[in-house]
């Protein structure tokens, strides 16, 4: 660790700075006092005959931001897509293990994935607004799901929560495709929270955005986490350090016959994981020495 | 680069020269092939236009044919034009909804093996000669019941079905999966996602596919010979009876000894040709437009 070269030193000091800034907020209560949203046990996932994840066990807590970090291909997307049964749509996908959501196993075959996704929303890596007006993007889900009372108020509330209202309030009827990438992503967040989910999953929501738009989204996570629980995948360690209360580090393991799969290496309070990781692989990764 | 190397480039050796010759030869061949294709279309259009354009007038479209006409009676083919409109319109009404539903099922709901199976079926159906479809429908619906306009429409609908379904499948495949995921992630059921998000993206494509399919079957003769060809000369819009149609009329007129009949056959052929050209071009235009629209939505 001491003999790291200039680059990684500056990366880690940037992280430390970010952590120091963020940890001014109140310290996390001990884990047993936190309420569990997800209790994941021995989750394994395969695409056809290729393993993607093996034996992931962890808990996700209520009203926290939980970050998932790790190198490309370690199964971060696969993991969070398991949490709302999004992978059901992928041909050849199989998973084993249990994912208990407030005590109920949502990975079970007889659970309706539509009902799961109704309470566990998702925001994707690339903004994917519907080719409809800004207003209809938010309102469509509400209408379909029968939340038709106070529709305009609901739309306004969601757009306000997503820090987009001021920018679009004068052109709600304009096509959502005319918005900038960052605005589109915030619109997708508004769309997801408008239907009042319990958990919002985000798969690298800021990876296509500039620093200012990214900051807006991070700010939004802080403000909304009293109402929702967030699980956010990110490539950006500073971002994890800034926004997350808990952080899970995934990495790639290799088998004897060259097969590769993702594994959960370490899961802890963000500050602990970044400043005093207990696994060598985590340390290498967060100090930028990942190879 | 040294002067010697440059000299090599300037004075090509034999092998290089041969390679260039082969290259130029292949280019010429490809150009010729393309020119032939264009020329064939040109010749067809030109020769039909030359013989048919002169005969083309309003009477042709509005007046019925007069049997055993003596003297210069203005003869038309109104019965054929009316019949074609009814038959092709009905055929579209039958084939289009089924084609769209098949495509939706195949693309949005069916598991992979079924998808492949239905795709193959559509291809086979598409490859069946129209005369075979004609005799099949003849055996199924005409024998013992007589010819009827709607039976002819049914035969054309069988021809249209694979065209409509195939083009719809293609359009649905263009709709980005990220849009479906966006909707499903809200907890919206599949069918609502299909109706509310996917289908609105395909309107342009549906129109394009329909226009092409209509253009394709409007000139079909064989199935109609079996199912809707024993007709009188009066103009009828009733698909409960056998109806005359443009392609059958062209066929029958061309068998007549009278040169005036031949002229009308050419004129009708010219109308059919114009319709097909117009339909293809507008379908092209619509297709690029809707593709651009879907492309914008995907990103
Ligand atoms: N739809 C799919 N079909 C087949 N294999 C897939 C599919 N999606 C992912 N995989 C494989 O599963 C493994 C994990 O992929 P995943 O997308 O979960 O990684 P990730 O950690 O999200 O990577 P990134 O940071 O690049 O997004 C990879 O080896 C990938 O090739
Ligand atoms: Mg990913």
Asked if residue A15 has pLDDT above 80, the reply is no
Percentage of residues in chain A having pLDDT higher than 70: 90
Q: Examine the predicted complex and report whether its ipTM is higher than 0.90.
A: no
What are the residues whose beta carbons fall under 8 Å from the beta carbon of A11, sequence distance 6 or more?
A237, A287, A288
Do residues B166 and B275 share a domain? yes
**Do strands A36-47 and A93-101 pair parallel, antiparallel, or not at all (unpaired)?**
antiparallel
| pLDDT tens for the 299 residues of chain B, in order | 555 566 556 666 788 888 999 999 999 999 999 999 999 999 999 999 999 888 888 888 888 887 766 656 667 788 899 999 999 999 999 999 999 999 999 999 998 899 999 999 999 999 999 999 999 999 999 998 989 999 999 999 999 999 999 999 999 999 999 999 999 999 999 999 999 999 999 988 888 889 989 998 999 999 999 999 888 888 888 898 889 999 999 999 989 888 888 888 999 999 999 998 998 898 888 888 877 776 666 44
Task: List the 196-235 stretch of A: residues with Cβ below 8 A of B.
Answer: 197
- CATH (residue range A7-130+199-286): 3.40.50.300
- What CATH number is attached to the domain comprising B116? 1.10.3720.10
d(CA A166, nearest CA chain B) in Å: 24
Chain B residues close to A140, C-beta within 8 Å = 183, 196-197
Q: How far is CA A35 from CA A62, A64, A83, A84, B144, in A?
A: 5, 10, 17, 19, 77
- At residue A25, the pLDDT reads 55
Chain A residues close to B190, C-beta within 8 Å = 114
Do residues B103 and B179 share a domain? yes
Asked if residue A3 has pLDDT above 50, the reply is no
What pTM value is reported for the model? 0.81
Do residues B171 and B40 share a domain? no
Cβ-contact B198, B175 below 8 angstroms: yes
d(CA B176, nearest CA chain A) in Å: 10
CB contact under 8 A, A195 and B201: no
Asked if residue A288 has pLDDT above 60, the reply is yes
Q: Considering only alpha carbons, which residue of chain A is nearest residue B190?
A: A114
Do residues B228 and B194 share a domain? yes
Q: Which domain holds residue B223?
A: 61-297
Do residues B18 and B147 share a domain? no
Do residues B226 and B153 share a domain? yes
Q: Does A134 lie at the interface with B, CB-CB under 8 angstroms?
A: no
What are the residues whose beta carbons fall under 8 Å from the beta carbon of A260, sequence distance 6 or more?
A51, A73, A252, A253, A254
Write out the residues surrounding ion ligand 2, Cβ under 5 A.
A 77
| Boundary (domain end) residue, out of B40, B55, B70 | B55
CB contact under 8 A, B296 and A131: yes
- At residue B230, the pLDDT reads 87
Asked if residue A83 has pLDDT above 80, the reply is yes
Q: Considering only alpha carbons, which residue of chain B is nearest residue A92?
A: B112
Chain B residues close to A89, C-beta within 8 Å = 180-181, 184
- At residue B157, the pLDDT reads 96
Do residues B39 and B138 share a domain? no
- Comparing CA positions, the residue from B51, B109, B47 lying closest to residue B253 is B51
What CA–CA distance (Å, rounded) separates A276 from A271? 8
Q: How many CA atoms lie within 13 A of B68 on its CB side?
A: 0
Chain B residues close to A119, C-beta within 8 Å = 187
Give pLDDT tens digits for A25-76.
Answer: 567 777 777 899 999 999 999 999 999 999 999 999 999 999 999 999 999 9
Chain B residues close to A115, C-beta within 8 Å = 187
Do residues B169 and B184 share a domain? yes
Do residues B133 and B50 share a domain? no
Locate A112 and state its tokens: 């309706």
Query: How far apart are the CA of A214 and the centre of ligand 1, in A?
Result: 24
Cβ-contact B252, B244 below 8 angstroms: no
Do residues B284 and B229 share a domain? yes
What CA–CA distance (Å, rounded) separates A174 from A168? 9
With an 8 Å Cβ cutoff, the interface of chain B facing chain A consists of 112, 176, 178-190, 192, 196-197, 200-201, 293, 296-297, 299
Apex A251 CA angle, A245 and A255, nearest 5: 155
Ligand 1, atom 4: closest residue by C-alpha: A47
- At residue A29, the pLDDT reads 78
For residues A73-83, give the mean pLDDT.
94
Q: What is the DSSP string of B199-265?
A: GGGGHHHHHHHHHHHHHHHHT--HHHHHHS----SS----TTS----HHHHHHHHHTSS-HHHHHHH
Residues with CB under 6 A from ligand 1: A 47, 50, 52, 72-78, 90, 235, 262
Do residues B44 and B128 share a domain? no
CB contact under 8 A, B187 and A192: no
Q: Does A144 lie at the interface with B, CB-CB under 8 angstroms?
A: yes
């Amino acid at each position: 660790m001491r003999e790291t070269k200039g680059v990684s030193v500056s990366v880690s000091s940037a992280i430390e700075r970010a952590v120091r800034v963020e940890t001014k907020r109140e310290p996390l209560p001990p884990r047993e006092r936190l309420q569990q949203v997800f209790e994941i046990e021995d989750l394994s996932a395969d695409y056809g005959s290729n393993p993607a994840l093996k034996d992931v066990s962890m808990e996700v807590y209520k009203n926290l931001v939980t970050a998932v970090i790790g190198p490309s291909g370690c199964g971060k997307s696969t993991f969070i897509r398991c949490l709302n049964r999004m992978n059901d749509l992928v041909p050849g996908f199989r998973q084993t293990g249990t994912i208990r959501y407030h005590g109920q196993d949502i990975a079970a075959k007889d659970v309706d994935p539509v009902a799961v996704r109704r309470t566990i929303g998702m925001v994707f890596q690339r903004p994917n607004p519907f080719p409809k007006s800004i207003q209809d993007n938010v309102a469509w889900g509400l209408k379909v799901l029968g939340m038709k009372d106070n529709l305009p108020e609901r739309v306004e509330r969601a757009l306000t929560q997503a820090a987009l209202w001021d920018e679009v309030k004068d052109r709600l009827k304009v096509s959502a495709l005319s918005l900038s990438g960052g605005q589109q992503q915030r619109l997708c967040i508004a769309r997801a929270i408008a239907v009042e989910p319990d958990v919002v999953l985000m798969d690298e929501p800021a990876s296509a955005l500039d620093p200012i738009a990214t900051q807006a989204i991070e700010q939004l996570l802080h403000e909304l986490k009293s109402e929702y629980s967030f699980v956010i995948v990110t490539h950006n360690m500073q971002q994890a350090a800034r926004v997350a209360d808990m952080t899970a580090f995934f990495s790639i393991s290799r088998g004897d016959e060259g097969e590769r799969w993702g594994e959960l290496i370490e899961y802890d309070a963000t500050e602990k994981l970044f400043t005093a990781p207990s696994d060598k692989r985590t340390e290498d990764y967060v100090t930028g020495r990942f190879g | 680069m040294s002067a010697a190397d440059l000299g090599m480039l300037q004075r090509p050796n034999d092998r290089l020269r041969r390679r260039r010759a082969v290259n130029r030869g292949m280019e010429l061949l490809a150009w010729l092939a393309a020119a032939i294709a264009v020329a064939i279309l040109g010749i067809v259009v030109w020769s039909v236009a030359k013989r048919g354009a002169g005969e083309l007038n309003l009477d042709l479209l509005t007046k019925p044919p007069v049997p055993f006409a003596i003297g210069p009676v203005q003869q038309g083919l109104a019965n054929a034009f009316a019949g074609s409109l009814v038959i092709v319109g009905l055929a579209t009404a039958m084939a289009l909804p089924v084609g769209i539903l098949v495509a939706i099922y195949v693309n949005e709901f069916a598991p992979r093996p079924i998808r492949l199976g239905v795709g193959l079926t559509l291809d086979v159906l598409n490859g069946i000669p129209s005369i075979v479809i004609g005799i099949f429908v003849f055996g199924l619906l005409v024998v013992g019941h007589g010819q009827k306009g709607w039976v002819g429409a049914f035969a054309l609908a069988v021809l249209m079905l694979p065209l409509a379904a195939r083009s719809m499948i293609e359009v649905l495949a263009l709709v980005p999966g990220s849009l479906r995921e966006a909707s499903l992630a809200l907890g919206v059921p599949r069918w609502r996602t299909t109706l509310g998000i996917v289908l609105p993206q395909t309107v342009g494509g549906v129109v394009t596919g329909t226009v092409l399919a209509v253009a394709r079957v409007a000139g079909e003769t064989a199935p109609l010979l079996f199912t809707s060809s024993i007709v009188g000369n009066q103009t009828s819009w009733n698909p409960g009876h056998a109806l005359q149609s443009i392609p059958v009329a062209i066929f029958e007129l061309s068998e007549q000894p009278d040169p005036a009949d031949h002229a009308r056959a050419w004129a009708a052929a010219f109308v059919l040709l114009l319709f097909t050209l117009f339909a293809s071009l507008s379908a092209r235009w619509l297709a690029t437009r809707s593709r651009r629209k879907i492309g914008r939505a995907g990103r």
